[in-house]
Amino acid sequence: MALSVVVFDVGETLVDEATTYERWEVEGATEFVFAERDLHADALPCFAALRSRGLRLGAAGNMYAHHEDFLRPHVDFVGSSERWGVEKPDPGFFAHLVEEAGAPAEEILYVGDRVDNDVVPALGAGLHAIRVRRGAHADVESPAGIVTIDSLDELAEAIARA
C-alpha cells in the first residue's frame, strides 16, 4: 500500500474516553475538553514512528470542534464532525477528510476502533483502513480481510505488511 497520509479517529482510537469520562466525574469537571493526558499511552510513540517513515498525520472524528486544539501540535491537520457539519459514517465526512489531507483517497489510511463507523465507511470512500481493537467496541469481530491490531504500537508494522 503506497501511503502518504495516516488519519486517526479520535474517540477510543487516540483518546481513552472511558478513563477520561471517569476522571471528569471524579474531578467534578464543568468544562469537557480533551487534553494530551487523555491520549492512550501508545498514541504519541505511534505518531513518532510514522513520522520517521515520512508519513503525514491527521486526526478526524465525530467530536466537537473545541477538541481539535489539543491534537494540533501532534498532527498535520485535524477535523471534527462539528466543524465539517457531517458525522461518520456519512460519506461526506470522508470527503472532507480527503480534502483536508490534500492527497488522493488511495494514499490515505484511516485508523479507527469501530468497524461500522470507521473502517467500513473509510473503505467505501476509497481509503485504506485498519482497525485498532479497544474501547467499547473491542468485542465486535472484524470482518474477514480487515487488518486489526490491538495497539497503536503495532500500526507501523501492520502498514509495512499490508
Torsion on CA atoms 121, 78, 134, 103, rounded to nearest 10: 50
Q: State the total domains in the chain.
A: 1
pLDDT at 160: 87
Measured CA angle at 58 (ends 54, 64), to 5 deg: 170
Domain with residue 76: its CATH number is 3.40.50.1000
pLDDT at 161: 81
Asked if residue 79 lies in contact with residue 58, where contact means CB atoms within 8 angstroms, the answer is yes
Cα 7 to Cα 29, 118, 153, distances in angstroms: 29, 11, 15
pLDDT at 143: 93
Asked if residue 39 lies in contact with residue 15, where contact means CB atoms within 8 angstroms, the answer is yes
pLDDT at 61: 98
Range of 69's domain? 5-161
Consecutive 10-residue runs of the chain (162 residues): their mean pLDDT? 94 96 94 94 98 97 97 98 98 98 98 97 98 95 95 96 76
3-state DSSP helix/strand/coil % of the chain, to nearest 5: 40, 20, 40
Pairwise CA distance, residues 16 & 10, whole Å? 9
pLDDT at 108: 98
Q: Identify the burial level of 153 via C-beta atoms within 10 angstroms of its C-beta, where 0-12 means exposed, 13-18 middle and 19 or more buried.
A: middle
Q: Tell me the pTM.
A: 0.96
pLDDT at 136: 92
Asked if residue 112 lies in contact with residue 135, where contact means CB atoms within 8 angstroms, the answer is no
